[in-house]
A and B are shown apart, each in its own frame.
Chain A
């Protein structure tokens, strides 16, 4: 499942130049400049409300930001996005399979899932150990199970750039491990990943590079270089909310 038919994918590099964002006269981001190398797993850390999600949305082209964000595509141009949450009525009779079908095809999910997508959906759900829960209603899933489903949808079609907005929030240990394993496989395949994360231990273990955002870039570099106790304390200790 985690391979493309063609040559091994190679993710793009991304260049943020003087990115700024101001909404309702409140400055969210200011002069944000850093580079995400091709095929890197790049983590964004920072205190809550520091602008990580806004930067992700700017990268997706969904905010009226200033400055420039350049994505230098090398292989394909497919973006996978794992959002924080889905906003829906939890009593709706929509199953995990229905949701995945809606992601894949135009034919309404209430008619049927096309044969060619059934295997793709099953494989993606199997990767996150959710294949046995395909007939569960979305509203019945725990926070962690929902995150796994959201992760699974981002793998269809296979991404060249994977953008994750705090996929670890509310996830159980088992789920986190499953997602970590898949991300390591994606890393080997040189998929570029931009990942907002609160778990500094995970960042140290997995990330190639890390950037701390609090309106502006506080520090950026490899985890070994920049994640010093002093800097982390400076970034998170200065605000009331910790990592």
Chain B
């Protein structure tokens, strides 16, 4: 950190990096970007985009529970992780037991979570200023501290380790569970593990991107990457790149230009810009096949 500060003071790096919160949020962005982009390819492949939204909503309820239980309102991690993990695991458990379609199940759980959150929030507003929740909902780089960074480091390490180790098997399980089982893959275990990965990385992203918008960063970069790539390599690396660039640009640009917007909103708008451009490229390639060779 002091090196970065000195470089910022001497003019080699942007002046804003002098501030610890800016540095913290950029570090967080550089970690979160590739991890969310990478996991996003699995979310899109396994068609679980709405699941991450349900977890995002559960995060809001988790924060509310944390405040009620007396945790610090800037980092109620115990309640956040506990509630979201129970919520995610309950969803997979119910899906496996009832064989209900995923979209119906997610809608049911999403509504339940919001209903609990709405009820508890009434009590929360009596304890803290309700605008505190804006930071949780839409992200704020001002509140990122070292604890958040440490949590992010640990969670990202777990996600990267599990992701690299089980990526192929998770994809195969979604393609044909019977084939996967014949090949010795523990389909149910991997289903729980994947949901756990999405849940913990969602919770770890709440401070930067916000509970409502994390889902977007799991889906939009992967969807943009799909527009451009023809193989898994392109799919994964484009997705990680778009996600990282969205995080960095979404944090740096509003700060440098002094535009007062929540970091989550800005990040997602940048991601949406990538999506629009890549969709246009895909459309042009289809309309003019000669362009596809460029």
Expressed in whole angstroms, the Cα–Cα distance for A110 and B41 within the complex equals 11
User: Interface size (A, Cβ < 8 Å)?
Assistant: 33
Q: Across the interface, which residues of A come within 8 angstroms of B233, CB to CB?
A: 110-111
Residue of B nearest to A60 (CB): B182
Assess A94 versus B182: contact at CB under 8 Å? Given A109-B168, A110-B237: no
- Which of these binds chain B: A40-48, A85-93, A181-189, A218-226? A85-93
B221 to chain A, nearest CB (A): 14
Say whether B231 contacts A102, CB under 8 Å.
no
Residue of A nearest to B183 (CB): A103
Say whether A83 contacts B179, CB under 8 Å.
yes
Say whether B237 contacts A89, CB under 8 Å.
no
B167 within 8 A of A: yes
A197 within 8 A of B: no
Say whether B167 contacts A110, CB under 8 Å.
yes
Q: Across the interface, which residues of B come within 8 angstroms of A95, CB to CB?
A: 230-232
* A-B pairs under 8 A by CB, number: 88
Expressed in whole angstroms, the Cα–Cα distance for A85 and B175 within the complex equals 9
Expressed in whole angstroms, the Cα–Cα distance for A2 and B198 within the complex equals 42
16 inter-chain pairs at a CB distance below 8 angstroms, sorted by A residue, are A79-B182, A85-B176, A92-B226, A93-B229, A93-B235, A95-B230, A97-B231, A98-B231, A98-B232, A106-B169, A108-B164, A108-B236, A109-B167, A109-B168, A110-B231, A163-B182
Name B's interface SS.
helix
Residues of A within 8 A of B (CB): 57, 60, 62, 79, 81, 83, 85-89, 91-95, 97-99, 101-103, 105-111, 135, 137, 153, 163
Say whether B165 contacts A106, CB under 8 Å.
yes
Assess A60 versus B178: contact at CB under 8 Å? Given A92-B45, A108-B167, A110-B167: yes
Say whether A102 contacts B168, CB under 8 Å.
yes
- In the complex, which of the residues B41, B171, B174 has the most CB atoms of chain A within 10 Å of its own CB atom? B171
Contact with A along B222-258 (1 / 0, CB 8 A): 0001100111111111000000000000000000000
Say whether A110 contacts B235, CB under 8 Å.
yes
A76 to chain B, nearest CB (A): 14
Say whether B229 contacts A106, CB under 8 Å.
no
B172 within 8 A of A: yes
Assess A86 versus B175: contact at CB under 8 Å? Given A81-B182, A105-B168, A108-B168: yes
Q: Across the interface, which residues of B come within 8 angstroms of A93, CB to CB?
A: 225-226, 229-232, 234-235
B186 within 8 A of A: no
Residue of B nearest to A140 (CB): B230
Our pick among A60, A89, A105 for the contact of B45 (Cβ within 8 Å) is A89
Q: Across the interface, which residues of B come within 8 angstroms of A109, CB to CB?
A: 167-168, 171, 232
Expressed in whole angstroms, the Cα–Cα distance for A97 and B137 within the complex equals 42
Contact with A along B132-165 (1 / 0, CB 8 A): 0000000000000000000000000000000111
Say whether B178 contacts A83, CB under 8 Å.
yes
